[in-house]
Amino acid sequence: MIPVRIAVGERELSLSELELPLELERLVPGREGWEVELGVGKGAYLLRCAASAGDAGFLGIEIVSKYYRLVRDRARKRGHHNVILMRGEALYLIATVLPAGFARAVHVYHPDPWPKSRHNKRRLFDVESIDLVVGLLEPGGTLYFATDHTEYGERVTEVLESHPGVELRRLDAPWPDGPRTNYEAKFVAAGQPILRLEAVRRVGGPLFHPAGERVVVAATSARE
């Protein structure tokens, strides 16, 4: 298990110092809405939003240590007091550390597609894991997704289209604010295709993907 670290301003904390699930308002008081980025990389989009977001709060998760430290140091240097950074595995943190239904937006840009079948279970977007990601959103909140990996993008589209708790829209044009990561900017400049999706959590909609629910029921029955 990768040790979890949490950076809040000049402080760096471990999970043993905190009550779970995290009470974000205690860590960064006075925020009017939260946005989450899963896999912040070098932090270009997260820090850009944090610089111009007023009273909003931003939480970024990154598993790669050098990127976590890089974004942490940049946030401190720029005085972004509305940013929380977490180092760790995203699905673990969503399932055990973060509160449910707190985010007005979740951003996932160019995640590792884990193309080998034996690694599919590590994907953020599959029927067994999609409810964790969608569950971060408040009703009416939006999930933003982009990938340059066509096969994985179509799989994500399929999973989200079949989820009764979300309304999916496939974008036929670039983001209105331009590329959201350095990685995306390179692909745009090279003329490579990028699949972009927006998925809104339905107010009062079901919380579970039917296929994922069947997996949970099957696993529970097997243990019994």
Segment 55-106, tens digit of pLDDT: 999 999 999 999 999 999 999 999 999 999 999 999 999 999 999 999 999 9
Backbone φ, ψ for residue 105 (5° rounding): -155, 145
Helix (H, G, I), strand (E, B) or coil at 192: coil
How many domains does the structure of the chain reveal? Answer: 2
Question: Is residue 22 one of the residues assigned to a domain?
Answer: no
Question: Is residue 19 one of the residues assigned to a domain?
Answer: no
Q: Are residues 67 and 119 in the same domain?
A: no
Tokens of 72: 């942490």
Residues noted as catalytic: 112
Q: What is the pLDDT of residue 112?
A: 79
Among residues 140, 55, 72, 62, the alpha carbon closest in space to that of 103 is found at 140
Q: What is the pLDDT of residue 78?
A: 96
User: What is the CATH number for 210?
Assistant: 3.40.50.150
Q: What is the pLDDT of residue 217?
A: 39
Q: Are residues 125 and 80 in the same domain?
A: no
Other beta carbons within 10 Å of 190: 8
Domain that includes residue 151, residue range = 113-224
Q: Are residues 92 and 180 in the same domain?
A: no
The whole-angstrom separation of Cα 8 and Cα 80 is 9
Q: Are residues 204 and 137 in the same domain?
A: yes
Question: Is residue 21 one of the residues assigned to a domain?
Answer: no
Question: Is residue 84 one of the residues assigned to a domain?
Answer: yes
Among residues 92, 117, 90, 119, the alpha carbon closest in space to that of 106 is found at 90
Tell me the CA distances in angstroms from 98 to 61, 93, 124, 215, one per residue in order. 11, 6, 15, 23
Q: Are residues 93 and 159 in the same domain?
A: no
Q: What is the pLDDT of residue 117?
A: 53
CA angle 20, 25, 29 (to 5 degrees): 145
Of 55, 74, 98, the one marking the end of a domain is 98
Q: Where are the alpha helices (DSSP H) in 119-209?
A: 130-134, 150-161, 182-189
Going by the DSSP 8-state scheme, the letter that residue 90 receives in this structure is H
Of 44, 69, 98, the one marking the end of a domain is 98
Question: Is residue 18 one of the residues assigned to a domain?
Answer: no
Question: Is residue 141 one of the residues assigned to a domain?
Answer: yes
Ranges of the chain whose pLDDT falls below 70: 1, 113-123, 213-224
Q: What is the pLDDT of residue 213?
A: 59
Question: Is residue 59 one of the residues assigned to a domain?
Answer: yes
